[in-house]
Every structure is written in C-alpha cells, then in structure tokens.
Structure 1
Amino acid sequence: MDGIFNTRMNGIKKWNRSTEPLKSNVFYTCSRGFSNADAAHESGISVASVERYYHQMVMQKISHQKNRLCPRYIGIDEHRFSKKIGFVTTFCNLEKHRVFDISPGRSEAELLPFLKSLKGRKRVKVICMDMHAPYRKMVRRWFPNAKIVADRFHVIKLINLHFAKTCKLIDEENLAWGRGGLIRIMCTRSENLSSSKREKLEHYLEKQPAIKSLWLFSQDLADLFRNKGKNPPACKKLIHDLLERNEMLRASPFRPMQTLGKTLMNLAEPCGSNVSFL
C-alpha cells in the first residue's frame, strides 16, 4: 500500500484529536465563570488543553462575527458604559430581540470604523432610534435604504418632559421632581400606580382642573404611541389622530406644549412610522 487511509469521524476537524462538542463544552464552562482548573477537572483534560480550546473557540466566533450580515430591522441606542470608556452605542436585532453588536462612542466619527466594517448595510429596511439629529444624519448616510422609526420610549419620555414643564408653570409651589413627587406620579401610567399614589393623584387633580385636562391629554397622546402590530387601515386612523392632537399642541397657550407640537411635526415621519412598524 502506498499510503494509510483514515476514516473521517463526524465532529472532529482535520488534524484535530478532540471533538468540537468537547471544545464547545469547555468554552461555555469557562464563559460561566469557572476556572481553567475546574473546567479541566470536569472534562478530564489538562489545563493547557482547556486554554487552547477556549482560544480556538474565541477565534472561531470572531470569524463568524466578521462574515455576518446586518439585520433587516435594527435598533440603535447609546448609554454610558463606565467612566473610563464613556458612552457606547448598542445595535440590536429587532427581529430576534437580541443585541447585534456594541461599539465604543456615540458620534459618527467614533463609530466610523465599526460602520465601515458592517456588511449588508443596503439590505437594512427599518432602524428604530431616538430623535437625536446627528443619529438621523448618520443613519441616512450609512443605511441609505432604511426607514427611520422613532423609538416609542424616547417619544413618550419627550411627552412627559414637556407635560411636566407645563405643570410647573401652572402650580410650581406644590409640584416636585423627586421620586415620590406629584410630577413623577403623573408621568407614570395609572395602572402602574399603587393605591396610595393613585389616591394622592386623584386628590390633587380634583383641586387642579387645568392640570387634570393636561394630564388626560398627555396620557392619551402617550397611549397613541404604545399601539403595536396594527394593520394599514388601523394605522391610517392612528396617524390621523396623531396629526389632530399635534394641531391641538401647536394651538396651546403654553410654550412647552407648543414646542412639543413643533418637535413632533418636524419628526412627523419617524413618529408616524412608530405606529406603522412597531
């Protein structure tokens, strides 16, 4: 015979002496916080093998990350990570409800290397994000075919902010911004309030009919953005209701309400798309 023939076995790569399930088990054991010695004892291998298998699995997962395509529906948001690192931007896969990737920084200049590395940017259909103007410009430049949708969390937060400013203009003496203050209670959904806080709110609104009218209006406007999974006919009605309430905001005698109406009108497409897509 000129050579030796070895039958390939499932689960073992060429030139390897250990199975891929064993390497995966070692990787996930170490990822859960176990030491190399514990993982070696559990798998019946040496500590050096544990370290080698872990590094091999890390490189394998990195190679998979480099070749993946952008999700069709992406959520973008920034948050403060630590004092040393500062802000980071999170990209979420809204179809699978998972984090797609995290990149340091929040400006376009800081995110430039990450954005350049993304593959399949033209296949992205929808991007859900806050109403920060630099983010909208960045999305239009790097995701040309994506439709921008305003994140309902940030829209409702904006509504509550301007509602609170208006209430402070009417009754500044009795309203406080603290955790147990009336403004915090009024910005919370009524079904999420405790019985004591609900009684406190009802007692206050009885004495302040003007603020009660504003509170009912703000709750109704916020509920409008909480609608999900509507068909096209229902979306048309909701968008009509949104435009009608926006006209009421712009005609309000209170400056914070007028500002909110102008902001929502300038962001009419992203805010209206919130009802259609999410």
Structure 2
Amino acid sequence: MARHIALAFLLSLLFCAQNIAYADFDCAQNIAYADDCAQNNAYADLDFDFYYLVLKWPGSYCKDCTVNGCCMPTTFTNYPLEEDFLIKGLYTYSDSGQAVTKCNTTKFYVNALRNLIGDLYVHWPSIKCPSNNGVSQWRDAWTNYGVCSGLSEEDYFDKALKLRKKINLLSVLKGHGVLPSDFLFYSPLYVETAIKVGLGADVGIKCSTNESGKCQIDEIYVCVDKTASKVINCPVLPKFICGQIAYLPTFSNSMLKDTSSCFDPHQMVTCE
C-alpha cells in the first residue's frame, strides 16, 4: 500500500513537471463553463429527489484568483477553524438535474439553531471578506433550499453537519495519498476515484484557478438520498471540468485576514 501511494506521488509530481502549463490552461479555460453548468434553473413546483452536499476546501478559496483573499469569521476567537473541508451547502435537486428552491416562505430564525451554533461556526462558517459571523449564508441556505427539504430548520442544518462528519472527506483523501500540499499535484480523476472507493459512490469535483494560475481542487459535490442520511451515486453528476492535474493547497488560520472592524454585532450583518 505504501509503495502504491509513493508511486502515485511520484507519478503526480512527474506529470506536474511535464504538463503544468497545459493543465493550468485547461483549468482556467473551463472554469466559466463549469460555473455555468452549476447554475441550473430552479423550480419550486418540482419535488426534490436528492441532495448535493457541497464541501469546499478553504485553502483553495483563500488562493482563488476571483476572490479577494479570505477573512477570519467574527466568531473565530471562540471557534477557530480546523484544517478540513467546510460546508458550502446542502442543495435540493431533482433527478433531472434542476435545483428545487424556494418552495415556501418559511422564515429563518437563528435562535432555532442555538443547539448547533458552535458546530456551525466551525464547520459552516463564512470566510468571505469582509468578516462576518456566517448567519447570512445560513439564512440563504434555509430560504433557498432548506424550505424544500421537508425538515425543520434545526434538522436541516443538523443533517448537513452530521453528513460532513460521517463522510470525513479529508480522512478519505489522506487514506489514498492525497494530501494538502503546495507541491504535490494529482490527476482529478485519481482524486475522484479515491473518493469513490472511500465513500462507495461517485462525486463531482470542481476546480478553480489560484493567483499563480495553478489549477486547484475547490469543491466536492457528494450526493445524498432524500432522507439526508445516506451517500448515494449521483443521479446527475455536475458537469465540472478540471485540468489534467490539480492540487489541494495547504490551509492554516494564519491565511485569514481580520476585517472585523467592519462588522456591527448588534445588526449581525457586515458593513457595506
């Protein structure tokens, strides 16, 4: 097993050295297409059939050339982040590949999440600049997708947190020799296969281009059954296209900028 992993590392590094320019070109050229494919029309009159649990890698977000770095959540002092995948969303979708959103106008109440708030601060934070506490993105998740789930607000977010923990994606990747590193490059197909072996189901991988023009693994789309308890093969795989090689950038809390001075804790929103 160790020899297999070492060989995979060596092949990845050799492939990177020989093909990095071509791979970066591929990644940059296809990002717009990949993003377009992710934006399916939403229909509130459709029943949803499955969820996409979308997990994002913070190291890639911090180095993405399309964002202005990453910022420390205002809750960071009491709830520092881990070097792990973060939840981006739990999306309701139909088997035809259409997002099912805004099924009703049930309001979002942050107090309904009081039993989950610590876990949400750590595992479903906002690291977008300027700094904020994550509440606005939880509200968006609930009013767009949670209201279509048939779950209570607390259950919807609890399901997402439990799925992230159960999947343990970073551990799956490390078990197959895919490590956060600024120097190790992998075939996205190898990464996808490693996750499929680990989870027993296929996934979608979304890449982005960092400030150095390198192709990086950005988000993983895991399909989950309608009960939000079991990982399944995707009825529809998102049509993202990565380059021939990509990497998982290292992440540390030192990468997070502090813009908390532009935050009004009384309003629980960021300053404009």
TM range (shorter): under 0.3
TM-score by length of 1: 0.24
TM-score by length of 2: 0.25
By relative contact order (CA 8 Å, sep 6+), the higher-ranking structure is: 2
Higher helix fraction (1 or 2): 1
